[in-house]
């Protein structure tokens, strides 16, 4: 996609952004609707594999799932980035100022989902929030929700399990963030914030940054789609290839005993395994979806994924600059317990 | 002379922004001092919550994203 240049000296004629967007959306829809027949045609007609055979089913599964998930990822990340371009951490802070505990936690968790956030700027965000008087617990609701309700994970769940599971993931992520923030707020842990944070004086200058115009929003959407899909596409393909292998070859219910509903220890084990594995939601998901098909329980799988995206080592290392180890420990413990309980709840409900 | 500050501590996007700023300065033949600000106390003076931030002559022009080179050019040639 091209974007009109801001400089007036350029003579290049740029197509209208609406036109570009329309053409791209149409192409996306057409592509999304032909991949299934196309995958079947390639697997069973072109390659001449037998329908119902292990190899044939595995190849068709792979050929359909790879383009489907990549299309879903690019389309939805584009839309999500555009939605997020209407929010900013500065606005969110202004909005959260003066809100009571409780209401503040719910708002902070919800805004954590839609506000553009990179764990690399977690430190200025944290300092800016607490220094402007937002309670510690409310700040934590934001910091838990922002990575936990992860857009890549959301899209992968939607693509692999449907909208109900995706919604369940989002809602439970929000609830964990609200409750974790309320608990941390109640524990009065301000003393475990590094002392220098309370000494920093933030500028009083109101930021006067012009809102991006539509062409810039589209460009932003395009950039982040390229960046995120560029980062995860290989994991998606490898993950689906492994998943396709399991799909075609691992016997039904081989995993029921290990990852099924009746093994209570599988959830804490999944969380413990997920915490050190960060930022690979995209690659992990297709594998776990295939595992689930063979008998692993949904709650166990969701808990695993939440642990992967919600608690990451790099983010903890960044937050360590403003939080003392005790508070980092409490933060990890509260979120990990929340995820574990969510896992049990899902296994019990479904 | 222009004074340009790139606010941000060690994030990948901060380095990219600094590189594009230096490129625009060189291409336009501007006389400018480009500083990288990594100290949090210093960054917070600008009230910036999302890095990278870009400050031109003591005014914050952008936060939390990498502006295009044409945008940067506009800010530097006001």
The ipTM value here is: 0.84
Domain count along chain B: 1
pLDDT at B78 over 70: no
Please report the residues numbered 22 through 61 in chain B whose beta carbons come closer than 8 angstroms to any beta carbon of chain A.
Answer: 40-41, 43-51, 60-61
What integer pLDDT is reported at residue A206 of this predicted model?
62
Given the structure tokens 């589209």, which residue do they identify?
A: A218
pLDDT at B63 over 60: yes
Q: A118 and B47 in contact by Cβ < 8 A?
A: no
Given the structure tokens 């999500």, which residue do they identify?
A: A80
Which residues of B are known to be catalytic?
A: 11, 14
What integer pLDDT is reported at residue A7 of this predicted model?
44
Q: Is A174 strand, coil or helix? A: helix
CB B66 within 8 A of CB B12: no
Determine the distance from the C-alpha atom of residue A166 to the mean position of all C-alpha atoms in its chain, rounded to a whole number.
11
Query: Closest partner residue to B11 among A118, A202, A208, by Cβ?
Result: A118
What integer pLDDT is reported at residue A330 of this predicted model?
95
pLDDT at A208 over 50: yes
Domain that holds residue B55: 2-76
pLDDT digits (tens, 9 = 90+) for A235-280: 888 878 877 777 666 665 555 666 666 677 778 877 877 776 655 5
- Write the CB contacts of A29 (distance below 8 Å, at least 6 apart in sequence): none
* Beta-bridge partner residues of B62: B54
Q: How confident is the model at residue A10 (pLDDT cuts 50, 70, 90)?
A: very low
A206 CA: distance to closest CA in chain B (Å): 8
Q: Which residue has the higher pLDDT, A231 or A40?
A: A40
CB A105 within 8 A of CB A178: yes
pLDDT digits (tens, 9 = 90+) for A165-206: 899 999 999 999 999 999 999 999 999 999 888 888 777 666
B1 CA: distance to closest CA in chain A (Å): 22
pLDDT digits (tens, 9 = 90+) for A277-311: 655 566 666 666 766 776 778 888 888 888 888 88
CB A230 within 8 A of CB A282: no
pLDDT digits (tens, 9 = 90+) for A97-132: 888 888 999 999 999 999 888 777 888 899 989 988
**CATH number of the domain encompassing residue B10:** 3.40.30.10
A→B contacts (Cβ < 8 Å), by residue, are: 3, 5-7, 88-90, 93, 116-118, 120-121, 123-125, 127-129, 131, 196, 199-209, 219-220, 223, 321
Q: Which residue has the higher pLDDT, A5 or A142?
A: A142
Residues B40-56, mean pLDDT to the nearest whole number: 87
Q: How confident is the model at residue B67 (pLDDT cuts 50, 70, 90)?
A: confident
Residues B33-53, mean pLDDT to the nearest whole number: 87
What integer pLDDT is reported at residue A143 of this predicted model?
93
Torsional sign, CA A184, A190, A196, A201: positive
Q: Range with the lowest mean pLDDT among A76-90, A106-120, A202-216, B64-78?
A: A202-216
- Residue B7 in tokens: 């606010």
What integer pLDDT is reported at residue A8 of this predicted model?
44
Query: Closest partner residue to A209 among B10, B45, B60, by Cβ?
Result: B60
- Write the CB contacts of A45 (distance below 8 Å, at least 6 apart in sequence): none
């Amino acid at each position: 996609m091209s974007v009109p240049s801001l400089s007036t000296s350029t003579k290049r004629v740029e197509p209208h952004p609406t036109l570009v967007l329309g053409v791209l959306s149409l192409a996306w829809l057409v592509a999304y609707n032909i991949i299934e027949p196309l995958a079947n045609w390639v697997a069973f007609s072109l390659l001449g594999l037998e329908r119902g055979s292990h190899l044939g089913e595995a190849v068709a599964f792979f050929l359909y799932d790879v383009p489907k998930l990549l299309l879903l990822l690019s389309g939805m990340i584009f839309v999500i980035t555009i939605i997020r371009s209407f929010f900013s951490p500065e606005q969110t802070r202004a909005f959260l100022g003066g809100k009571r505990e409780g209401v503040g936690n719910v708002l902070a968790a919800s805004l954590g989902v839609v506000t553009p956030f990179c764990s690399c700027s977690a430190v200025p965000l944290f300092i800016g929030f607490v220094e402007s008087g937002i309670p510690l617990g409310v700040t934590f609701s934001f910091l838990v929700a922002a990575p936990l309700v992860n857009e890549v994970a959301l899209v992968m769940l939607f693509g692999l399990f449907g909208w109900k599971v995706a919604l369940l993931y989002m809602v439970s992520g929000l609830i964990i963030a609200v409750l974790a923030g309320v608990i941390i707020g109640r524990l009065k842990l301000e003393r475990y914030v590094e002392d220098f944070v309370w000494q920093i004086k933030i500028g009083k200058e109101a930021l006067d940054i012009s809102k991006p115009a539509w062409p810039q929003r589209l460009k932003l959407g395009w950039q982040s789609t390229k960046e995120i899909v560029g980062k995860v596409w290989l994991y998606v393909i490898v993950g689906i290839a492994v998943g396709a292998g399991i799909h075609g070859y691992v016997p039904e219910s081989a995993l029921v005993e290990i990852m099924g509903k009746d093994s209570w220890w599988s959830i804490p084990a999944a969380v413990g395994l997920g915490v050190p594995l960060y930022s690979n939601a995209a690659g992990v998901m297709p594998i776990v979806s295939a595992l689930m098909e063979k008998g692993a329980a949904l709650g166990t799988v969701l808990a695993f994924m939440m642990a992967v995206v919600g608690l990451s080592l790099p983010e903890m290392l960044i937050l360590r600059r403003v939080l003392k180890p005790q508070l980092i420990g409490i933060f990890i413990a509260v979120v990990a317990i929340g995820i574990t309980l969510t896992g049990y709840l899902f296994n019990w409900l479904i | 002379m222009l004074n340009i500050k790139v606010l941000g501590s060690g994030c990948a996007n901060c380095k990219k922004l600094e590189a594009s700023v230096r490129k625009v300065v060189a291409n336009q033949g501007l006389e400018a001092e480009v500083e990288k600000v990594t100290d949090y106390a210093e960054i917070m003076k600008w009230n910036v919550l999302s890095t990278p931030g870009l400050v031109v002559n003591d005014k914050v022009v952008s936060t939390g994203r990498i502006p295009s080179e044409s945008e940067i050019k506009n800010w530097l040639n006001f």
